[in-house]
Structure 1
């Protein structure tokens, strides 16, 4: 961007997005280190998912420009079909849980979620704290019975700093009240991942004063 925009303020984290790069057991790939020399789908065309993926492989000492046999960009369903056909070795995904295409793949194939090699997740989160250490629960996908340590980020909503404090307070209060959280979980699958506990924990920009007021009153912010 040519002009700095610093008037945006956070209203809280809506839900968590999990890094879920995946492959098939037949490839022998288990960690990011195993991706060297492989054909990798780094996300959808025109998206930004590849930027996160490249951060994660760089944390393992791999160079995305040199260490992959090939990097391709495909929509989610096309990427899954390419993996089935052996045209790519691994597919990058960042999404809420569960991701429909991964769930579908796990019904007919031996799914493997690619993980950080020991010690590398800590290395990444120390150097780049915008990535949150997350645990993908075992049983989320068929055949993946154990918990999977990964990283991710929180999807945040926001408002301009000059929006009235009382207006933001009431909006945030409505969304994160028990009835509000129940409603959000009913109208969208991602809403099931919303919680008051996480709402103010990982906001990448300062909170709006109205949101800050509510979270302090609710005990979600010291």
Structure 2
């Protein structure tokens, strides 16, 4: 194996393992997954003020503040989570504290150590975490308390570049400088896997969130970026208003190779006109966004929050065409929390 590729893999693994240790994926010294929480005990919300709700007593009142971990402000998770916040607070006794994070992998760690009550993650990352495989942070450290609530919408994998870079197909990414997403994020997992599947072996990997990646493209610091999120992604839309962008398609044999690589990927299309200057449809792949929680959160809490969201989907303006009660278990990759199961019946 090329030494540069091996070094990149080692550094990426070290970063993920370090993130897991900080976020709690590596455990609290009891069961290896950071899951032993005494009944009725409050946990910290990551800011030191103990705002999580009651745990698994199933009916206690406890605190009414819930910590909801989203993603970067330039993606879809954060604004959608704030719409959930408005709906939940209008229809339940709970308040949601929405936090911007590095998204999926980091959010799993926050659920594992109890600093998050709910979080948005990708369905593939959820599967890896629950089964202790594929991602370095999770191998041998299965997050046994991770539970599903509902799936939401396809998370489109977008490879974005600027006109003039000479990148028009995946093969052109060879030797390029590519932002693969925040270190340890679901985006990085997808990006590095797809690049490997497509035979892209030599590239300079940069790691930053969507908003920073857009700035890097605008300033000429990178050649391309992977962005994973429901279209239109705000960071790409903003970039397209000031720069001529190109969307690199994954189609034909490349598409089939990615679909064959893992069961989590599905064929997807970014409709023409989604982004300024991109008038034609662009073929690509997607995973699924989902709401996750932890097994020790009270069933009554999870059921109340789930009901508030899915009884009031008409109040959503983001991804509302996808988020329905009828489709909320499509692509669910892990077992449901008992509160969610009670609601969906």
Considering the TM-score relative to the shorter chain, is it more than 0.5? yes
Q: What is the match of residue 106 of structure 1? A: 240
Match of 2:155 in 1: 17
Change in Cα spacing, 1:74 to 1:167, as seen in structure 2 (3 Å) is closer
Distance 1:191 1:104 in 2: 21
Structure 1 CA distance, aligned partners of 2:298 and 2:213? Answer: 45
Alignment-derived partner of residue 206 in structure 2: 72
Residue aligning to 1:211: 340
Structure 2: 5+ residue runs without aligned partners?
Answer: 1-25, 27-31, 34-141
Residue 220 (structure 1) aligns with: none
In structure 1, the residue matched to 2:265 is 131
Determine if the alignment matches structure 1 residue 82 to structure 2 residue 216: yes
Deviation sequence 1:83-141 (CA, Å, 0-9, x none)? 23333211221123222221122123221112214222232223211223322222111
Which of residues 56, 70, 75 in structure 1 aligns to 2:194? 56
Name the residue aligned to 1:115: 249
TM-score (norm 1): 0.78
Q: Does the 8 Å CA contact 1:14/1:191 hold for their aligned counterparts?
A: no
Q: Which position in structure 2 is the counterpart of 1:143?
A: 277
2:314 aligned partner:
182
Residue 77 of structure 1 and its aligned partner are, at CA, apart by 3.6
- Contact 2:232–2:275 (CA<8 Å) still a contact in 1? yes
Distance 1:88 1:42 in 2: 11
Provide the residue aligned with 1:219 in structure 2.
none
Please say which of residues 78-87 and 156-165 is displaced more in the overlay.
156-165
TM-score by length of 2: 0.53
What is residue 330 of structure 2 aligned with on the other side?
Answer: 201
Q: Of the two structures, which has the highest relative contact order with CA contacts closer than 8 Å and spacing of 6 or more?
A: 1
Q: Write the deviation string for residues 53-92 of structure 1: whole angstroms up to 9, x where unpaired.
A: 01111111222xxx11x22223434432332333321122
**Structure 2 CA distance, aligned partners of 1:163 and 1:45?**
28
Contact 1:33 1:117 (8 Å CA) reproduced: no
For residues 125 and 80 of structure 1, the distance between their equivalents in structure 2, rounded to whole angstroms, comes to 27
Contact in 1 for aligned 2:250/2:285 (Cα 8 Å): no
**Structure 1 172/32 Cα, relative in aligned 2: closer, same or farther at 3 Å?**
same
d(CA) in 2 for partners of 1:77 and 1:169? 34
Q: Retained in 2: the 8 A contact 1:31–1:117?
A: no
Gaps of 5+ in 1: 217-222
SS in 2 for 1:202: coil
C-alpha RMSD of the superposition: 2.7
Q: 1:195 to 1:28 in 2, by over 3 A?
A: farther
1:26 aligns to what?
164
Between 1:75-84 and 1:23-32, the stretch displaced more is 75-84
